[in-house]
Amino acid sequence: MDTLALVHTREYLEKLEKSALTPAEMRRLGMPWSEALWVRSRLAAGGTLLAARAALEVGIAGNLAGGTHHAFADHGEGFCVLKDVAIAVAKLRRETAIRRAAIIDLDVHQGNGTAAIFEGDDAVFTFSMHGERNYPLQKTRSSLDVGLADAAEDTGYLECLNRHLPQVLDAARADIAFYVAGVDVASCDRYGKLSLSEEGIRLRDARVIECVRDREIPLCIVLGGGYAPSRVRTAELHMHVFREAAAYEVRRRAQTAA
């Protein structure tokens, strides 16, 4: 609990531990409290912290969960209970393992909880590129927000990413980068409103990995959202970022050995 309290208020954590969320708080969260949810949320946050530690050690790592960017310090919303990336950043900073961090959030929804938690913190650069007319309707200011029009397709999306991402990394001067690799940007997504193809998502993921790792910045990947027609399809889309991460590291090692 002490690690979670680096980000979240004690009152909120006690409510989660004791099943004391009000009906209004559960509606805001988007789902009812359960012991399984509380356990899963802590495990997901722990997984992101472990992945961040691994990234600092070997260069790149990921968590097959996480990216819960709608969680605030004192409440959850949008299916997000605990702010896993913020917890990892806070813990690593407390241990002096890092001083500065960049959060690259390419989920289709703006990372409002992330923005709120790090508002005014110049050592954490928060970048959110999202659907402007999608949830949350009331946005919270990130270090850089880029809102996209409905039905944005591969070419425009990737041009926008290529324009902003190098500037973000230059400004962040980060010791570690976190990538929220939501796949709800896909054209098949039930809630996304954007129109990226599967190849567009793969190219997006490859570009983030390349841009971060070519600068020798450790990279921690977390999932974010995805609401394809089936869970299998969602999982297939999520797999691209991990395949691209593995492919990048294979190429990097081959170049080093040559």
Residues 27-50: tens digit of each pLDDT: 999 989 999 999 999 999 999 999
pLDDT (average), residues 169-183: 97
pLDDT (average), residues 224-233: 95
| pLDDT greater than 90 at residue 53 | yes
| pLDDT greater than 90 at residue 253 | no
Q: How many CB atoms lie within 10 A of CB 110?
A: 28
Check residue 1 and give its pLDDT.
80
Give catalytic residues, as residue numbers.
Answer: 70
**Torsion angle, CA of 123/70/84/82, rounded to 10 degrees?**
130
What is the rounded average pLDDT for all residues in the chain? Answer: 95
| pLDDT greater than 90 at residue 258 | no
**Torsion angle, CA of 134/139/145/149, rounded to 10 degrees?**
30
Euclidean distance between CA atoms 145 and 174, whole angstroms: 18
100-158 pLDDT per residue, tens: 999 999 999 999 999 999 999 999 999 999 999 999 988 999 999 999 999 999 999 99
Paired tokens of 74: 């004192």
Check residue 25 and give its pLDDT.
94
Edge to edge, the sheet with strand 101-105 lists 60-62, 219-222, 176-180, 101-105, 124-131, 144-148
83-97 pLDDT per residue, tens: 999 999 999 999 999
Check residue 255 and give its pLDDT.
81
SS3 (DSSP) at 117: helix
pLDDT (average), residues 180-195: 95
Check residue 137 and give its pLDDT.
86
